[in-house]
Amino acid sequence: MTDVRIDDLPIRDELRGKSPYGAPQLDVPVRLNTNENPYPLPEPLVERIAERVREAARELNRYPDRDAVELRTELARYLTRTTGHEVGMSQVWAANGSNEVLQQLLQTFGGPGRIAMGFEPSYSMHGLISRGTGTGWISGPRRDDFGLDVAAAADAIARHRPDVLFITSPNNPTGTAVDADTVLALYEAAQAAKPSLVVVDEAYVEFSHRPSLLPLIEGRPHLVISRTMSKAFGAAGLRLGYLAAHPAVVDAVQLVRLPYHLSAVTQATALAALEHTDTLLGYVEHLKSERDRLVAELRAIGYEVTESDANFVQFGRFDGEGGAHAVWRKILDHGVLVRDNGVPGRLRVTAGTPEENDAFLDAVRALKKEHS
């Protein structure tokens, strides 16, 4: 066969020369690179999933509930219970991972001739999904300590007038979270520039020291909170993300969602997981204390560590020869896979089980010794 590359195909111009999302999926003993939850689902939940999927299988000749009413009702109940803010089914929408939720939002509120903006370093998929939907992408500023400078951010918003604004809190890969006042200031700045959608990506909020920003949707129809079951619920393989917003936003994304996008099997599995919320949130407490241990131990070893509100920790600095990537490689040689997100001089490690975290800490201690 003749050698045909992507760029030889008649693909859209804005995709030319771009790389796909690609966290390495390497077969190493300790994988702490994609912010997954290290705990497998508990056996009673596995049984319950099998039961609910068996029931769903009996009706797989039919299309699933297109509006996922039962699932959205349970997600609304979860949000109400954990935030103390009353959320109804009509304010919740679900899709295959929060990535699909974000894609639907960009298809609805972004698109050709429109632009989205986020404050980088942040979740690379915000830019990638923007591009994939034909939406322009603007990278806004962060402070040197990776927090948001409200004045500089508001200034960038006024200059670029984005149609969609992403605020990730806690932020990935830095771990930093923002308070309600910051979100309100940026929301006001965005609305002053032009009517725009502000998306607060709370993928890691269950791990945060700070409360959810969800109550801010009250009276703000242009504000969306995005959530996922991939991290705190330990169900990355399930592919279930959701949003909370004004019911009009939920109605709007119906314009672009594929009919029957959420399979009956997915809906049944997510409903089973939501029945076991308390057990799963118990694991979150373990992970939070392991996260705090990683921060303390990394500092004790002599690394510079960014304050973390998530289930991962950003550490450095690696300004020597080869930079962070050379160190990433050396940690991998010790059988531990962490993440190089391309932030100069920094790496990111996901909080794993105590044993996995010990293996990681041993590896970085060994490195430190080699270099002193």
Beta-carbon contacts of 195 under 8 Å, excluding residues fewer than 6 positions away, are: 222
If we measure between CA atoms, which residue out of 118, 121, 141 comes closest to residue 131?
118
For tokens 């972004």, the residue is 110
Minimum separation from the CB atom of position 208 to ligand PLP (A): 13
Q: By C-beta, is 230 or 314 nearer to ligand PLP?
A: 230
How many other CB atoms sit within 10 Å of the CB of residue 42? 15
Q: By C-beta, is 97 or 136 nearer to ligand PLP?
A: 97
Tokens read off for 85: 């803010």
Q: By C-beta, is 203 or 361 nearer to ligand PLP?
A: 203
Q: By C-beta, is 256 or 367 nearer to ligand PLP?
A: 256
Measured CA to CA, the distance from residue 362 to residue 372 in angstroms comes to 16
Minimum separation from the CB atom of position 60 to ligand PLP (A): 24
For tokens 């502000």, the residue is 198
Minimum separation from the CB atom of position 172 to ligand PLP (A): 4
Minimum separation from the CB atom of position 334 to ligand PLP (A): 25
Measured CA to CA, the distance from residue 295 to residue 292 in angstroms comes to 5
Characterize the bridge pairing of strands 223-228 and 241-244.
antiparallel
Question: Using omega within 30 degrees of 0 as the cis cutoff, is the peptide bond preceding 221 cis?
Answer: no
Minimum separation from the CB atom of position 137 to ligand PLP (A): 15
Q: By C-beta, is 234 or 297 nearer to ligand PLP?
A: 234
For ligand PLP, the binding residues (CB under 6 A) are 35, 97-99, 123, 168, 172, 201, 203, 228, 230-231, 236, 241
State the residue number with the nearest CB to ligand PLP. Answer: 97
